[in-house]
Amino acid sequence: MVPICDRAFSRLLEQWRALERGTSMVKLKWFDNLHQSGFNSNDDVIANDSNGKSIHQMPTNVNSTNIVWHKCSIEKMDRQELLQQKGCVIWITGLSGSGKSTLACALSRGLHARGKLTYILDGDNVRHGLNRDLSFKAEDRAENIRRIGEVAKLFADAGVICIASLISPYRMDRDACRALLPEGDFMEVFMDVPLQVCEARDPKGLYKLARAGKIKGFTGIDDPYEPPLNSEIVLQQKEGVCASPSDLAETVISYLEEKGYLKA
Ligand SMILES: Nc1ncnc2c1ncn2[C@@H]1O[C@H](COP(=O)(O)OS(=O)(=O)O)[C@@H](OP(=O)(O)O)[C@H]1O
Ligand SMILES: Nc1ncnc2c1ncn2[C@@H]1O[C@H](COP(=O)(O)OP(=O)(O)O)[C@@H](O)[C@H]1O
C-alpha cells in the first residue's frame, strides 16, 4: 500500500501509462524508480486530503526503506498564515538565453517589494553545489530536475514562493515535478523565445562554442527541448518584440494575485 495525495496519484497514474508506452532512457529510469519503490498499478492507495495539511509523496529513492513520516503540529497552513502568502512553485522553463534567470530575478524583486518571501533555484546556481555531480546527459538532466523539484517542494511547504529557473528540456520531468505538489501550486512559465533570438543574445558565448562543436549536447543545437503543451503562462518574445523583464514579471505577479497566492 502506498500513501499518496489523490490528485498527485491520478497524475502519476497518467505518467505510469505514458511510461508503459514510452521507450526512452529517461522514461525507463522513471519506470524503474516507480517499480522499485514498490508501487505497481494494482496496489491499493491510501489517498490523503490535500487541503494544505501534510502531503505525503510516493518515495522514489529505492534505498530508503523502513522509513515513517514524522508529522509536526506546525504545518504549511500555519507558516502561510505567518507569511501572509501561499507557498507555491513557479517553474520557468526555456532555452538557454531565453531570459529565465532575468525573469526569476525581476519576479523576486517585484514580489519582495510587495512584502512577499521568495527564493530562486536557478539551474546554473544549483549546479555549483547540490547538483555539481551532474552532467548534461539526459539521465543527469532528469536527476537535476528531480532534485530541484524536490527542493522546490520543500520551499513551497515552508510557505515560500519558490522560483525555479532551469532549462528542464523534458516534458515528462517537468510533469513529474508538477505531480509532487497539490493542484494549482505548481505554475509552469514557458519562455517561448525562438532559438535564433536566444542564439543572437548568447551572453555566455555558449551557442558559439556549441556551433563550433566545442560543447556537445547543447540544448537547441544538438540536444532536444520539448516545449510545454499546457503551461499556465506563456511569455512569447520574438525578434525585436521583447517586453521588458519587469513587465514580464508583472504578468506572473498578476496571475499569482488572481489565483490567491499573495494572501494566506
Ligand atoms: N550542454 C548544455 N546544454 C544546455 N546548457 C548548458 C550546457 N552546458 C552548460 N550549460 C549551461 O548550463 C545551464 C543550464 O543548466 P540547467 O540546470 O538549467 O539545465 S537542465 O535543466 O539540466 O537541462 C545553462 O544556463 P542558462 O543559459 O541560464 O539556461 C548554460 O549556461
Ligand atoms: N525580456 C528581455 N528582453 C530583452 N533581453 C532580455 C530579456 N530577458 C533577458 N534578456 C537578455 O537575454 C540574455 C539571456 O538572459 P538570461 O536571463 O541569462 O537567460 P537564461 O537564464 O534563460 O539563459 C541576457 O543577456 C539578458 O540580458
Task: Summarize pLDDT for 139-162 with one digit per residue, the tens.
Answer: 999 999 999 999 999 999 999 999
| pLDDT surpasses 80 at 8 | no
pLDDT of amino acid 57: 47
Q: Which atom of ligand 1 is nearest to the CA of 94?
A: 29
Instruction: Locate 69 and state its grid cell.
Output: 513520516
Ligand nearest to the CA of 97: 2
Report the SS3 class of residue 78.
Answer: helix
- Which residue has a Cα nearest atom 24 of ligand 1? 96
Residue 81 is classified by DSSP as H
Q: Which atom of ligand 2 is nearest to the CA of 102?
A: 17
- Cα-to-centroid distance, 202 and ligand 1 (Å): 12
pLDDT top residue among 100 and 56: 100
pLDDT of amino acid 242: 86
Instruction: Locate 131 and state its grid cell.
Output: 547538483
**From 124, 193, 221, 226, mutation site for ligand 1 pocket: most ligand atoms within 8 A of C-beta:** 124
Q: What mean pLDDT is predicted for residues 90-102?
A: 98
> What's the rounded Cα separation, in Å, for the pair 208 and 182?
41
Q: Which atom of ligand 1 is nearest to the CA of 127?
A: 17
Ligand nearest to the CA of 204: 1
Q: Please, what's the b/e burial string for 23-46 (b: 16 or more CB within 10 A of its CB; e: otherwise)?
A: eeebbebbbebbeebebeeeeebe
Alpha helices in the chain (DSSP H): 6-21, 25-36, 76-83, 100-113, 123-126, 138-157, 171-178, 195-201, 206-211, 245-258
Domain 76-258 coded CATH 3.40.50.300 = yes
Contact 55, 48 (CB under 8 A): yes
> What's the rounded Cα separation, in Å, for the pair 92 and 141?
15
Is 54 a catalytic site residue? no
- Which residue has a Cα nearest atom 6 of ligand 1? 218
**From 96, 101, 102, mutation site for ligand 2 pocket: most ligand atoms within 8 A of C-beta:** 102
Q: pLDDT-based confidence at 12, cuts 50/70/90? A: low
Contact 156, 89 (CB under 8 A): yes
- Cα-to-centroid distance, 103 and ligand 1 (Å): 16
Tell me which of 98, 101, 168, 231 is the catalytic residue.
Answer: 168
Q: pLDDT-based confidence at 15, cuts 50/70/90? A: low
Residue span(s) of the chain under CATH 3.40.50.300 come to 76-258
Contact 235, 192 (CB under 8 A): yes
Contact 37, 16 (CB under 8 A): no
Q: 167 in ligand 1 pocket by Cβ < 6 Å?
A: yes
Instruction: Locate 63 and state its grid cell.
Output: 534505498
Q: 131 in ligand 1 pocket by Cβ < 6 Å?
A: no
Please work out, in degrees rounded to the nearest 5, the angle formed at the alpha carbon of residue 54 by the alpha carbons of 36 and 46. Answer: 50
* ipTM surpasses 0.90: yes
**Helix axis angle, 25-36 to 138-157, nearest 10°:** 50
Q: pLDDT-based confidence at 2, cuts 50/70/90? A: very low
Instruction: Locate 173 and state its grid cell.
Output: 520531468
Number of helices followed by number of strands (H, E) in the chain: 10, 7
| pLDDT surpasses 80 at 215 | yes
